[in-house]
Structure 1
Amino acid sequence: MQIGLIGLGKMGGNMAERLRLGGHKVVGFDFNKETTAKLTAAGSVGVDSLEDLVKNLEAPRAIWIMVPEGKPVDDTIAKLKPLMQKGDIFIDGGNSNYKDSIKRHDALKAEGFEFVDVGTSGGVWGLKEGYSMMIGGDEDVVSKLTPIFETLAPSATTGWGRTGPSGAGHFVKMVHNGIEYGMMQAFAEGFAIMDAKKELNLDNAHIAKIWQVGSVVRSWLLDLTAEALAHNPELTGIAPFVPDSGEGRWTVFEAIDLNVSAPVITESLIRRLRSREENNMTDRMLSVMRNAFGGHAIKKD
């Protein structure tokens, strides 16, 4: 099957290679010409414009978009529409807000196009391990793309599936990332507690290896943690600064809207925000108030 791919960063490039190895014709575009040249050298077709991307695909076309959420997705679709034909399929495989995906589906459907949202997990390991894909869209359209999903997934029958109508794929991926926040926070806190117990001389890297087999907390996330600790047990050179992609906070907003209690995911998001605060105003205010009512000493910078 043929597929157009826009956005050839680490994840997009690995997806292109996995599809090529699976026997699909891949036509890829990226603003970085070196990246498109590498795609061609690897055996696929790298192009320098959206016009050439569309020309190299036979109708009905399927074009997978891997660009940042929001305006970049809308701009890409807007540029592609005049070049494409009715019945062509837009696939958004990035981390878009599910509400935007529903709007895009409805707008494109009214114009004769198809739209599928694919929440994609696997990161830089997807080329080797395969990608987990949570798919939202019309059943008949998703069915047409089955060969693509079977190739990208860990196997033809595992790691992927249609989760519901348009928006469902990105909604499930949003919750998936919220859960991921909580799991990461729990591991980080646990290892921090063990690191603080200096009198027991605990070896976090060794403990992580023990937990990898037979433990109830064993997981791919633990495997990655164990590998990281083995290479850098003291986390030397790593700043306590943790970004968030946006999906964790969307999960928290959704929980509030649905009146669902989600304290672990919420607190894990707050901790990420806290990690990015320099000269934290909250803590300085607490110190001032404690001094005001109790005369407790204030630690100076």
Structure 2
Amino acid sequence: MEQAEIGLIGLGVMGSNLALNIAEKGNRIAVFNRTPARTGEFYEEAGSLKDNIVPCETIEDFVAAIRPPRPIIIMIKAGAPVDEQMALLEPHLQQNDIMIDAGNANFRDTMRRFDALKDSGLTFIGMGVSGGEEGARHGPSIMVGGTEASWKRVEKVLTSIAAQYHGEPCVAWLGENGAGHFVKTIHNGIEYADMQMIAEIYGILRDGLKMDAAEIAAVFAGWNRGRLNSYLIEITAKVLEAADPIGGRPIVDMILDKAGQKGTGKWSVIEAQNMGVPATAIEAAVAARSISALKDEREAAEKVLGLPAVPPLAVSDKAAFIKDLENALLAAKIGAYAQGFAVMAAASREFGWSLPMPTIAKIWRAGCIIRSQFLDEITTAFTRDPHVANLIVTPAFAAMVRETDGALRRVVSTAVLGGLPVPALAAALGYFDSYRRGRGTANIIQAQRDFFGAHGFDRIDGADSHHGPWGSGLGTGAA
């Protein structure tokens, strides 16, 4: 029997869809699931794609069915289950075989696994896959981290299954060990911020302008035809249009306001903090999800504190304000992306990855959750200046920030005065205002730190005096 080009373990929703995508693109694939019944069920449901699928009931048969060196995708729950599956698989593998974790793994786990296999003759790929179930089935954005040799072994298959943007596959090798999973983590952090900002704009339209779901849907649908054109704006309009099959009301009005999270947003914030890179919009989005989970506490607090005693939103021209909302969302989105790319640039230096920023922007243009027209402009900006300190100081984005800054400022001010929470929009505005100000206020912090801890400070005149006159003769020049 002809051997498979690649193998896949784990026939859950994502694994099944990815396997069908691989088979549909003309690649022979061996599949294995811990529960043999699921393997048989998957094979029977594959229909015309059966000819490219080799169902296996044992690990031994599975490994034997794949052409060496064997690339094997592991698509199971992240964390300890991946380590357990690798331990079961490893004794059956041979020189240069490749284990590929395609789940939402912590990149530090990926680096650990990569290092653990370094002297074993085997190797490891950490592969970020974005696009959800639909992307896995029809074309995801794929971020690969591992050795260049292991990438070359899987390049043909991964290129065939990736999303296409104007004929370019949305897949790339980004560097060694954890590079792919790190980029996927930051992708998800930006995704958190983007979704939170959309939710805040929705809140202003719903609670501030008292618009119903259908009216808000029309606003988002209109924005999707302009500069905000993106997957998330598109599906927001569709979500708002959808009716509840039980009662007929807008389904969005029947959904409990508690947002879940799986960890990648939190990881992106932790790593930004570890590297000293401000990612305030992403941080605000992660915190907002955490607050949303405190549903009982929020309801109790509303009974104790009440809602802010504020007048209705001071909006004299509704159409002009909605245009401000569009521009404010664009400005805040720029801030979130700028922060995400700054975190990746810092990680690239810290871990020696040489992450290709224009390529990352390119492979996010289709297939992934944050795909948008906007990424074309990011690709161009980083192609012209791959090592720019921050996206917002590139000529194109500096012009966009100057154009939309006023709208963001007006929207945040109006929302705050109206008692409407806009933590991510406000964080983006604060980021712009802090980043663009040459003379900030950290001098007083340095003075305080020196006063209570003798931490020292640098002087603007460069003088070789690094402590203040904080002794008993404060301000008199005493020691």
Q: Is the structural similarity TM-score above 0.5?
A: yes
For residues 152 and 19 of structure 1, what CA distance do their matches in structure 2 show? 6
Displacement after TM superposition at 1:278 (Å): 4.2
Q: Is the 8 A contact 2:144 2:175 kept in 1?
A: yes
Displacement after TM superposition at 1:50 (Å): 2.5
Secondary structure at the aligned position of 2:111 is classed as helix
Q: Is the 8 A contact 1:28 1:39 kept in 2?
A: no
Q: Is the 8 A contact 2:143 2:173 kept in 1?
A: yes
**Structure 1 segment 207-222 matched on structure 2, within 5 A:** 207-214=219-226, 216-222=227-233
Question: Which position in structure 2 is the counterpart of 1:154?
Answer: 163
Give the counterpart letter for 1:186 in structure 2.
M
Displacement after TM superposition at 1:222 (Å): 1.1
One of 173, 187, 193 as aligned partner of 2:198 = 187
Question: Which position in structure 2 is the counterpart of 1:291?
Answer: none
Moved more, 48-57 or 87-96: 48-57
Q: Is residue 110 of structure 2 the alignment partner of residue 101 of structure 1?
A: yes
Give the counterpart letter for 1:157 in structure 2.
E
**Structure 1 segment 59-208 matched on structure 2, within 5 A:** 59-127=68-136, 129-155=138-164, 157-198=168-209, 203-208=215-220
For residues 255 and 57 of structure 2, what CA distance do their matches in structure 1 show? 37
Q: Is residue 264 of structure 2 the alignment partner of residue 252 of structure 1?
A: no
CA deviation profile, 1:256-286 (whole Å, cap 9, x unmatched): 1111111110111111111222432897599
Q: Is the 8 A contact 1:18 1:151 kept in 2?
A: no
RMSD: 2.3
For residues 302 and 144 of structure 2, what CA distance do their matches in structure 1 show? 46
Q: Is the 8 A contact 1:150 1:157 kept in 2?
A: no
Write 1 or 2 for the structure with the bigger share of strand. Answer: 1
One of 240, 254, 262 as aligned partner of 2:279 = 262
One of 9, 18, 21 as aligned partner of 1:18 = 21
Question: Which position in structure 1 is the counterpart of 2:260?
Answer: 243
- Segments of structure 1 that go 5 or more residues without pairing to the other structure are 289-301
One of 281, 294, 297 as aligned partner of 1:277 = 294
TM-score, normalised to structure 2, is: 0.57
For residues 21 and 127 of structure 2, what CA distance do their matches in structure 1 show? 17
For residues 221 and 120 of structure 2, what CA distance do their matches in structure 1 show? 54
Secondary structure at the aligned position of 1:14 is classed as helix
For residues 287 and 208 of structure 2, what CA distance do their matches in structure 1 show? 25
- Segments of structure 2 that go 5 or more residues without pairing to the other structure are 244-249, 306-479
Question: Which position in structure 2 is the counterpart of 1:2?
Answer: 5
Q: Which one has a bigger Cα radius of gyration? A: 2
Question: Which position in structure 2 is the counterpart of 1:296?
Answer: none
CA deviation profile, 1:196-243 (whole Å, cap 9, x unmatched): 1455667111112111112x2220111121221121445143111211
TM-score, normalised to structure 1, is: 0.88
- Say how many residue pairs are matched: 287
Question: Which position in structure 2 is the counterpart of 1:51?
Answer: 60
Secondary structure at the aligned position of 1:270 is classed as helix
For residues 172 and 218 of structure 1, what CA distance do their matches in structure 2 show? 23
For residues 19 and 269 of structure 1, what CA distance do their matches in structure 2 show? 34
Secondary structure at the aligned position of 2:168 is classed as coil
Give the counterpart letter for 1:263 in structure 2.
T
CA pair 87-200 structure 1, distance change in 2 beyond 3 A: closer
Identity among equivalent positions (%) equals 34
Q: Is the 8 A contact 1:208 1:226 kept in 2?
A: yes
For residues 255 and 268 of structure 2, what CA distance do their matches in structure 1 show? 27
